[in-house]
Amino acid sequence: MHIAVVGTGYVGLVTGTCFAETGNQVTCVDIDANKVARMQAGEIPIFEPGLDLLFERNTRQNRLHFTTDLQSAVDKAEIIFLALPTPPGEGGAADLRYILGVADDLSRMIKRYTVIVDKSTVPVGTSEKVHAALARHLSEDLFDVVSNPEFLREGLAVDDFMKPDRVVIGTSSDRAKKAMQHLYQPFVRQGNPIIFMDERSAEMTKYAANSYLAARITFMNEIANLCERVGANVDMVRIGMGTDTRIGKRFLFPGVGYGGSCFPKDVQALAITAEEFDYDFAMLKTVMGVNERQKGVLVDKIRTYYQGDLSGKTIAVWGLAFKPNTDDIREAPALAIIDRLLEEGVRIQAYDPEAMENVRQSYGDRITLTETAYDALDGADALAIITEWSAFRSPDFDELRSRMKETVIFDGRNVFDLDEIGQEVQYYDSIGRHVMKNSSRSDQ
């Protein structure tokens, strides 16, 4: 099939590349001319494991193309995916300006029957708005609008797209349904379902899934905070409860709050949808409040350790991306934590395997970004671990001890085993577990 994907970010580029991988002719469109030029030159503008192989193969085999010219992509396309940003607008609701703007453009460009698929995360009722925007200049028998929310996770996006747990498709048109079924068939050969439903339910499914996951993390963060107070170990509690098949093991890891480009804005957007429909979604409000508070937990621990005075301290930060295996720093808890530490007069020396360039653009010289994880430790009073990159899990502790002023670690992701770390450093405080103090290491 001939496909156009409008918006070539984390979702659009993965979507386009994976559809090319299954033999389709794909044109990816973006308004960012610089980004398009880089992709035309064979460069991938984001970090996403495994994407390079597919990108290279499909551009080489002439199935994957990039352009800023929407009309040329539309002329060929049987299906057009909208993978455009839906950031929080004024008041926090999803801003539909990008989606409706492109829908308006399409209404003047489409000349034969085309399926318009909304892949962005959008509030209930958006497909009707997109339909209305298209119908302004286009006969209704020349298009159908489908809601096809995307569930991929950054860092695992290629795998998630190639082997999805399920594909959700919201449409009331048989013609569009057939086209979507045909397109997605190669991705569900192992028997995972393509679930057809109405447009509103599809739109709601995405928000329900993300809000539930955010709530699950938030619940565990509350359990962890309570574990600290009652002297329990959240690691054991997590395993003890997660092995119940009704609960399941995934998404039970406590930390310094959820972040990223999706959970915060999607939880907020769903809360606003509830308000618009006069429903008091009390739980969502609590989730948002608790998550904000959780971003302060590590700073509180650091402040308490230094008896309220952080000025002049140097703190090394390991991990800036909102989670491992991505360079994405949108709404990353690390940034909230760094901002608070800077306000209290701390000097920050930070390292992340992939997110440094993005952080440099927003922080300039307000923090020091180092070449390696160990360089961040030079002369540091303490280390704060904020993103659980695998590379941080087994450091060379001799090196760490030789670089830091004192071996004091605040771990926002429970990266280390308590007994082992207790042997290695002077002071170790994590989330929902006992504080480890090692007096034999104090005199280094």
Ligand X SMILES: NC(=O)c1ccc[n+]([C@@H]2O[C@H](COP(=O)([O-])OP(=O)(O)OC[C@H]3O[C@@H](n4cnc5c(N)ncnc54)[C@H](O)[C@@H]3O)[C@@H](O)[C@H]2O)c1
* Residues designated catalytic: 262
Q: How far is the CB of 66 from ligand X (least distance, A)?
A: 11
Under rule CB under 6 A, residue 83 binds ligand X: yes
- Is the distance from CB of 266 to CB of 276 less than 8 angstroms? no
Q: Which of 1, 98, 281, 434 binds ligand X (CB under 6 A)?
A: 98
Positions 108 through 147 that interact with ligand X (CB under 6 A): 120-121
Which stretch in 31-39, 132-140, 239-247, 302-310 sits in contact with ligand X by CB under 6 A?
A: 31-39
CA dihedral (78, 129, 287, 9) positive or negative: positive
Among 138, 117, 140, 115, smallest CA distance to 127 is for 117
Which stretch in 10-18, 189-197, 349-357, 385-393 sits in contact with ligand X by CB under 6 A?
A: 10-18
Strand segments, DSSP code E, in 52-139 are 64-67, 79-82, 114-118
Under rule CB under 6 A, residue 376 binds ligand X: no
Under rule CB under 6 A, residue 31 binds ligand X: yes
Question: Which one, 15 or 426, has the nearer CB to ligand X?
Answer: 15
Tokens at 127, concatenated: 């497909």
Question: Which one, 28 or 382, has the nearer CB to ligand X?
Answer: 28
Rounded CA-CA distance 91/276 in Å is: 12
Question: Which one, 142 or 209, has the nearer CB to ligand X?
Answer: 209
Rounded CA-CA distance 436/310 in Å is: 21
Contacts for 257 with CB less than 8 Å, ≥ 6 apart: 221, 291, 292, 294, 295, 297, 333, 336
147 DSSP 8-state letter: E
Under rule CB under 6 A, residue 221 binds ligand X: no
Under rule CB under 6 A, residue 180 binds ligand X: no
328, 333, 338, 343: CA torsion to nearest 10: 130
Which stretch in 80-88, 168-176, 234-242, 331-339 sits in contact with ligand X by CB under 6 A?
A: 80-88
Give 408's strand partners. Answer: 427
Question: Which one, 228 or 328, has the nearer CB to ligand X?
Answer: 328
Q: What backbone phi and psi angles, to 5 degrees, belong to 384?
A: -110, 125
For residue 428, give the 3-state DSSP assignment.
Answer: strand
Under rule CB under 6 A, residue 32 binds ligand X: yes
Under rule CB under 6 A, residue 89 binds ligand X: no
Under rule CB under 6 A, residue 327 binds ligand X: no
Under rule CB under 6 A, residue 6 binds ligand X: yes
Calculate the alpha carbon distances from 377 to 226, 320, 380, 433, 441 in Å.
31, 15, 5, 24, 17
Under rule CB under 6 A, residue 204 binds ligand X: no
Which residue of this chain has its Cβ atom nearest to ligand X in the complex?
A: 9
Under rule CB under 6 A, residue 11 binds ligand X: yes
Name residue, tokens 């453009």.
Answer: 105
Contact pattern for ligand X over residues 246 through 285, marking x by CB under 6 A = ---------------xx-----------------------
Q: Which of 23, 40, 42, 101 binds ligand X (CB under 6 A)?
A: 101
Residues in contact with ligand X by the rule CB under 6 A: 6-12, 29-32, 35, 83-86, 98, 101-102, 120-121, 150, 152, 154, 261-262
